[in-house]
Amino acid sequence: MALRILQFGVVFAIGYHLGPASPFAGAVDVPEVPLSIQLKDPQDVTVSRGQSATLRCDAQSPTPGLQITWLHNDQPIKSNDSRRHVQRDGSLYFPKLGDGKKSKNLTGEYRCRASVQNVSMLSNPAKLKVASFGDFDKQPSNLSVPESQPAVLFCNINSVPAAQIKWEQNTKPLPHNTRYVPLPTGALLITKTHSSDAGSYRCIATNSLLKKTKNSKIVELTVSSVPSKTVAPTFLPLDILPNTTTVLAGEDAYLHCAVSGWPIPTVQWLNNISVVISNSSVLQFRNASLRDAGNYTCTVYNAGGRISQRYLLEVHQAPYFNVTPTSKTYPPAKTVRLDCHALGSPKPKIYWLKNGEPLQNAARIKKHPTKLVISHTFTSDSGIYQCFAVNAAGRVWAAAQLVPTLLHTPSPPENVQCRPYDDSSVCLSWQRPKDALEVKAYSIYCYYTDMEREMPGTDFVTNRTQYLASGLNGSTNYTCYVRLYSTIASDRSQKVSCKTGMKGRRNLQVIPINETSVELSWSRVSTDVPCDGTNELYKIEWRRKGRPPAVSERCEGFSYTITGLAASVEYEFRVIPAWAKSSNAPWAAYTPKGHRTNTNLNDLIPLAPEHVEAGRVSPTNINLTWIDNNENTRFYMICMVESGKQVDCDDKDLLISASNSLLITDLQPNSSYDFKVRAHNFGDHVGPFSQSTTIRTPADVPSKVLNLNYAIVNETTVCLRWQAPLHKNGRLTGYLVLYTPNADWPLDKWFNKSVSAAVEAEKRCWTGATDDQTLSTPLVGLQPDTWYMVYVRAISEVGLGNPVYPIQINTREIKTTEQQPEPSEDVHYNQNLGIIMGVTISLLCLVFCISCTILVRKRCLKTRAFSRARMAASNNYYPAVAQYASEGSSVQVRLEHSCSATMHEIEHLVGDECSNHIPPDTPAHLDTKGSDGFPNGHINGSAKPYINGHIANGIVHITENPRYYALECNGYAEKKPKPQDLCCSPYEEDSNSNLKTSKFHDLHRIFENSKVVKVPDMTNRANRQCNFPQKNSKIKSNEDCKNSSFKDVRPNG
């Protein structure tokens, strides 16, 4: 044990030294592919009218031949445009802006594109503006306001870039005061006017780029006395509509609630949960964050009434990436995923570019919100992919490059052709390329277009040069291509298109030849020609009207003659391709002319049914059908036997049916059965059995798993355990674990986990005893204090097994007293401290274990020596011959043969009046309540011996040893003795005892009616030699045992 603790300490020290394992441990390190182009976005430019401008594009590439082109409002700029041209460093130069007709329409968004060796990259747009300084849209006006009421002076001007607005009072700059609040529109809000505010006002607008200033008109603000009567509160217009304020995260935000009224109204700001957060007319947010965004309500009231107004604060955050795509190489015919996840407010929209162009929609290319998945990759998928994230606050992009592996790809299939086949299939054929050395398989991929979007179809695989692509939508135009597989996959072939739907008409005609013969003729339809190119064969079926097909024949060509028809009986005919197993082709009716005889059909022996067919319905059910040419059949008898068994069909074992079909149930899955049918008519005539048909029932799915249970590992993990199903019905391939926190979720939304049926025992999470039939798996990532519904299904080669009744699991039984923070990348580990702690703990544990072992060993040796000395001094230490068993009480007394190989502890408490005074040998067996370190002089492992029949502490616990077995003298198990076989029968309570009646008193009641017991002759037993003899012991005769009595041995006092 000390060695193991030392090992644990060393492992702990090493683990602490190395730190936590990487979450990507075991992942293959894929070398990163460098981008062929490095590009920086151009910046916005604003210039004065008539001046030149330059937009710079900073692009670099390790590959020579880098080219820069520009787009204006997403349209390429022509190389011969004299108004702007690309310089040698890639920048776009404008000689003059805003003067003359040639300079018109030059402002807007510009993007630069960098290209090298068939790959391109596109920048974010940069805006080109021409500075301007227009007239005032709104100017202040004269205003009269009662004292202590708010006032608003408006000012707004058109300017590029935005003008700076300042206010003057009486031709002097407005003094700094919290009552003066400039609004985002340029207006001035005086929250509470004083008499000193009266005077003249004007706003001054300045364009810093043009270095121009404009003054508004001068207006007068008059401050009157306070109202003499109550005035209901009224909101002042602030020219901020619709009461929405938008700021960027980290900026200061202000919501203004300007209201007039007398007495001065009380202002309350309420958040979206109706909690008062401020009483000021201006609600201020310092360094506004995303959590500050939302609706706010300004409620004001006075004696004149109460009013409220809602405000919306929007906090925007420019998009940023938390996951960016990674450049990589890829082989053909694989699936490639580029991850791209952006955050921001509002939620950014993601779109993709490939080589600077919008990525086209394709059935094999799926654009998810957080990734781009390209399946069935081709060499044409190579290029630079850019992920753009855009919202109202800005736009960012990240790029990755896909490079195909440098392998020679085989040539694709040639001469691909497609023709319609039926309503849900098309037939494809192609030729093997001439330079193909080895062809392992071909894959076919079909898709259709809906609203200018490619909709994915189904993949097909074959090793032939033709294929029937089925399961398609009806009357739909599909586009298909084929690719070849040898050691690697080829690129796709040329695309071909065809439309599903049957082509041609059958035009079946029935031409009479005579009263019993007809000739059938028909035309070809698209399904007649098999897709594998074999010859056309047709199957002609005919029957009496309303009955299953009676006869079918095969033929080539487009005509066939049928003879032997019955006169004046209506027949139905049809023609289908010979390869078709079933068909819904229409029937053509015809009745041969003639007369019928008046023969009594009941006097005829019924004909044997024909075309007995069995169809699988389920693993335990089949549907049996047959054709009956008799017209007076009353019922049918069906014989069913297991294939391979030579069993005659007995009438009592036959099945009965009133129609020419029967659903047979309760069969064994994956078993073969033989069926034959005979007809019974109304004349009680029995026909012969039909030809036998054989069918094998399909294999059944596994039954439900057994003993589904779980154990809690921690707050987010449980260990799920179950046992294999009782009926596997074949080889199990695995298990499917389904679980959900919401039972109302549809099944396809449940979380699922696959578990292999061959999980090694050491990889199972269940710590209890397991076997090959017990499996377990951990469920991780669970939410604490959340109930999950879980069930498990076995999976075999047939399919999913029957589901077990779901159980509910919860991890809330695990409660931690302190939440431990998760390790992060910023945590630094003290490696030397870890080594010191591990080694110190190991040494302390080692010293402690060695000390305890020495102390316990010394004490045990002293106790054992003392016990032997006490036993040697005792004259009353004798084994008991009787052992006691009493069912229904806690004390059991059994009288067994004196040569038992083992002894119960109760023998040490009962004096043996039938035995001599020679102490026996110590039993060699190990008692479960003691050890061989405590001889029979000790009770239940007690270290203190008892002497002369007395117990040291006065308390005796007597139980039956579960490991005790009574043996006969020759070592065989001895049968439980009968009462009449007991050796010593009379028992008496010790009259000298002054203690309360013990549990042994029950034995007196049990045996007081057994004072006289017949004892069998023990002579034969006495003469037999025991396997475990006692030294100098004698087996007493029956007479010696008659006077024995039982005494309750208890300590006096």
Looking at residues 734-759, what average pLDDT do you find? 86
- Could you tell me the two tokens for 648? 């005659």
Q: What local confidence, expressed as pLDDT, does residue 765 receive?
A: 83
Q: Which helix (H) or strand (E) is 266 found in, with range?
A: strand 266-270
Q: Which of 892, 920, 887, 917 has its CA nearest to residue 906?
A: 892
In contact, 804 and 722? CB cutoff 8 Å: yes
Rounded to 5 degrees, what are φ and ψ at 336? -120, 140
Q: What local confidence, expressed as pLDDT, does residue 869 receive?
A: 52
What lies within 8 Å, CB to CB, of 1039 at 6+ separation is: none
pLDDT band at 102 (very low <50, low <70, confident <90, very high): low
Taken in order 95, 101, 105, 111, is the CA torsion positive or negative? negative
Q: Which of 828, 841, 961, 950 has its CA nearest to residue 901?
A: 961
Looking at residues 905-930, what average pLDDT do you find? 40
Instruction: Give dist(CA 455, CA 432) in Å, integer.
Output: 28
Tell me: pLDDT of 265 over 90.
yes
Q: Which helix (H) or strand (E) is 1022 found in, with range?
A: helix 1019-1023
For residue 244, the cross-strand partners are: 312
pLDDT band at 529 (very low <50, low <70, confident <90, very high): confident
Q: What local confidence, expressed as pLDDT, does residue 901 receive?
A: 36
Instruction: Give dist(CA 732, CA 814) in Å, integer.
Output: 35
Tell me: pLDDT of 907 over 60.
no
Beta carbons within 10 angstroms of residue 873's beta carbon:
10
Q: What local confidence, expressed as pLDDT, does residue 184 receive?
A: 87
Q: What local confidence, expressed as pLDDT, does residue 214 receive?
A: 93
Q: Which helix (H) or strand (E) is 707 found in, with range?
A: strand 706-714
Q: What local confidence, expressed as pLDDT, does residue 223 receive?
A: 93
Tell me: pLDDT of 914 over 60.
no
Question: What is residue 21's three-state secondary structure?
Answer: coil
What lies within 8 Å, CB to CB, of 98 at 6+ separation is: 48, 49, 50, 130
Instruction: Give dist(CA 662, CA 172) in Å, integer.
Output: 108
How buried is 479 (Cβ within 10 angstroms: 0-12 exposed, 13-18 middle, 19+ buried)?
A: middle
pLDDT band at 968 (very low <50, low <70, confident <90, very high): very low
Angle ∠(850,854,859) on CA atoms, nearest 5: 150
- Could you tell me the two tokens for 356? 């600077």
* % of the chain with per-residue pLDDT over 70: 73
The pLDDT tens digits of the residues spanning 631-662 come to: 788 899 999 888 877 777 766 678 889 888 89
Please compute, for residue 909, the number of CA atoms within 13 A of its CA located in the half-sphere on the CB side.
26
In contact, 581 and 601? CB cutoff 8 Å: no
In contact, 738 and 790? CB cutoff 8 Å: yes
How buried is 478 (Cβ within 10 angstroms: 0-12 exposed, 13-18 middle, 19+ buried)?
A: buried
Pairing of strands 219-224, 143-146: parallel
Tell me: pLDDT of 883 over 80.
no
DSSP sequence for 312-366: EEEEEEEEEEEE----EEE-TT--EEEE-EEEEESPPEEEEEETTEEPPPBTTEE
In contact, 788 and 811? CB cutoff 8 Å: no
pLDDT band at 728 (very low <50, low <70, confident <90, very high): confident
Q: Which of 957, 954, 945, 956 has its CA nearest to residue 1053?
A: 954
State if pTM tops 0.95: no
pLDDT band at 499 (very low <50, low <70, confident <90, very high): very high
How buried is 366 (Cβ within 10 angstroms: 0-12 exposed, 13-18 middle, 19+ buried)?
A: middle
Higher-pLDDT residue of 651, 774: 774
Instruction: Give dist(CA 419, CA 367) in Å, integer.
Output: 32
pLDDT band at 834 (very low <50, low <70, confident <90, very high): low
Question: What is residue 1001's three-state secondary structure?
Answer: helix
Looking at residues 360-382, what average pLDDT do you find? 91
Tell me: pLDDT of 955 over 70.
no
- The mean predicted confidence, pLDDT, of the chain is 77
Tell me: pLDDT of 887 over 50.
no
DSSP type of residue 462 = E
In contact, 127 and 112? CB cutoff 8 Å: no
Angle ∠(908,909,913) on CA atoms, nearest 5: 90
For residue 116, the cross-strand partners are: 119
User: Which amino acid would we find at residue 1050?
Assistant: R
Q: What local confidence, expressed as pLDDT, does residue 601 receive?
A: 62
Tell me: pLDDT of 95 over 60.
yes
Question: What is residue 137's three-state secondary structure?
Answer: strand
Tell me: pLDDT of 790 over 90.
yes
Rg over alpha carbons for the chain, rounded to the nearest Å, is: 50
Instruction: Give dist(CA 258, CA 350) in Å, integer.
Output: 41
Tell me: pLDDT of 918 over 90.
no
The pLDDT tens digits of the residues spanning 571-597 come to: 888 888 887 766 778 888 888 765 444
Instruction: Give dist(CA 253, CA 286) in Å, integer.
Output: 7
HEC assignment per residue over 816-882: CCCCCCCCCCCCCCCHHHHHHHHHHHHHHHHHHHHHHHHHHHHHHHHHHHHHHHHHHHCCCCCCCCE
DSSP type of residue 47 = E
For residue 213, the cross-strand partners are: 206
